[in-house]
Each structure stands twice: as structure tokens, then as C-alpha cells.
Amino acid sequence: MTASPQPASLDHLPPARAAALRYVLRLADNALVLGQRNAEWCGHGPVLEEDIALANISLDLIGQSRLLYGRAGELEGELTGLPRHEDDYAYWRAERDFRNWTLVELPHRGPLAGTAAAERDYAVTIMRNFLYSALMVELWEALQSSSDAQLAAIAAKSVKEARYHLHHAAGWVVRLGDGTEASHVRMQRALDHLLPYMNECFAEDPVEAEAAAQGIGIVTASLRSAWDATVAETLQAATLALPPASSFVSTGKLGVHSEHMSYLLGEMQGLARAHPGAQW
């Protein structure tokens, strides 16, 4: 690993010219942060098979983020003459410069304060992976037609991984939702907790709109009906009920994160910042 202690803020770049860069970074941040979260189960999985499965899913997500950060570094180089390395984006940006969905940064438990101690809840992990993967299958499929050839190629690879992630998570949603009374209650509680955070994923914003207008990205709201169908089918099999619709919209993709993000970044970035310029 090599890293340069330089923040990679994009605030100074013109919105239209930087649309592709901002859009690709959002995808990369989502994958990296969820990969980091899922990796927290390594050595703590409920059974050995699931410990290995989540580690592999984390590796897939971090692999996706590396490809996307690589493309982002090229795009930033074209805009500024200063290409970035993937480590610059992962380790040397401040919290506000990350533009991931709030959903992926939440801890593996219900709504507690950031410093509260609680056991990891596998129901929360599985439900989040299910909701996220159900959307990413649709999004990666659509992005295979991106006008950015490299992003289209990344999407073609990533959609295969996302299909497996969805298959894994959906199977556990059904198994636990339609399992014991205790597992059903925990899955329903996880769904009730996480579903409102999906509103952010489907909320259109200037970055997404400009990327879609340029043929680079897609308006995620256009995927809502397909996502709804996948979710409804799985929840029915799991005997889980959709909670009432919520007007809550989180703001992670705007750079305004939950109280949990700083703790996640502190753990993820600590080693690189303690030894700047180190090679591994």
C-alpha cells in the first residue's frame, strides 16, 4: 500500500464536468463502506460457513471499490492533471468527502447511540445485504450500457457478484423470517429499522441527474419498481410485512453522515494515517 496524505475533496470542481467522477466515487464509497462493515464479522460469524461467506462478500465489495476508485483516479487526473491512487480516496479523505448511502455505514444492530455497546445482530446484517444487493443487481445491469466504457466493464463484472450476494441474503431472509418465532421477530425488527434508509438510495439529486443526462449513470428511481418486486416476493416467502411508508431521507450521499461514520473511518483509516507513505 502506498498513500499520500492529501485530501481528495471535489468541492472545487465544476458540477457538470465532474459529474462522472462524483458518480463513480459514490458507487465506490458504497462498496467500500459496506465491505468494511461486513468484514467486521470475520472471526465472529454465527457459524463457520457464514463467517467465510461474509468475508468473501466483503472481498467482492472491496474489489468493486478498488476498480471504481481506479477509474475515479483517472477521471480526476483528466480534470485536474493530478491523478489519484485508490488509497488516496479510501484513507485520506475526511468524513464529509465520502458520499456513500447512510444505509451502508450503519452498525450491525438496531438504533442505538454511536458509543452504545450492543451485540452484533446478524438479522440486521442480512437484511441490509438483501436490500442493498436487490438494488445493486438492477443498477449494475443498467450500468452495463454506460457511455463510460470502463464503468460499463466494471458493471459487467460486478453484476455477477451482486447476484450471488442477493441469492445469499435472500435465502437467509426467508430462512430466518419464516423460521422460529424469535428469528422472525428479529428479521421484522431489522426490516423496520433499515427500510427507511432506502429512501435516500432512490432520491434523485444533481450528481445522479447530471450523470444520467450524460449517459454515464442512471436515475436510480427508475429502478424502484423492479426493486420493489424483488423485495416483495422475498418478504412474502419470509412471512415478513413491509412497515408503513416513511418520509425520512438520510443524507450520506450529500456528505452528511450518521454518528456511526466517524467510528468506521477511524478504524479503517487508522493504520494508513499512523504510517503515511508506508509500503506493504
The cell for 262 is 466517524
In sequence order, which residues have a C-beta less than 8 Å from that of residue 222 and are 6 or more positions away? Answer: 142
**pLDDT recorded at residue 9:** 60
Chain segment 194-218, per-residue pLDDT in tens: 999 999 999 989 999 999 999 999 9
Answer whether residue 4 shows pLDDT above 60.
Answer: no
**pLDDT recorded at residue 17:** 81
In sequence order, which residues have a C-beta less than 8 Å from that of residue 47 and are 6 or more positions away? Answer: none
Provide the pLDDT confidence category of residue 5 given band limits of 50, 70 and 90: very low
Chain segment 126-170, per-residue pLDDT in tens: 999 999 999 999 999 999 999 999 999 999 999 999 999 999 999
| Whole-angstrom distance, CA of residue 151 vs CA of residue 166 | 21
Chain segment 43-58, per-residue pLDDT in tens: 888 888 888 999 999 9
The dihedral of CA 19, 139, 64, 235: what is its sign?
A: positive
Provide the pLDDT confidence category of residue 117 given band limits of 50, 70 and 90: low
| Whole-angstrom distance, CA of residue 216 vs CA of residue 276 | 34
DSSP-derived 3-state class of residue 247: coil
Nearest-10 Cα torsion for 69, 70, 74, 79: 10
Provide the pLDDT confidence category of residue 119 given band limits of 50, 70 and 90: confident
pTM of the predicted model as reported, rounded to 2 decimal places: 0.93
Answer whether residue 115 shows pLDDT above 70.
Answer: no
Answer whether residue 113 shows pLDDT above 80.
Answer: no
Domains of the chain, CATH where assigned? 19-274 (1.20.1260.10)
Count the residues in the chain.
280
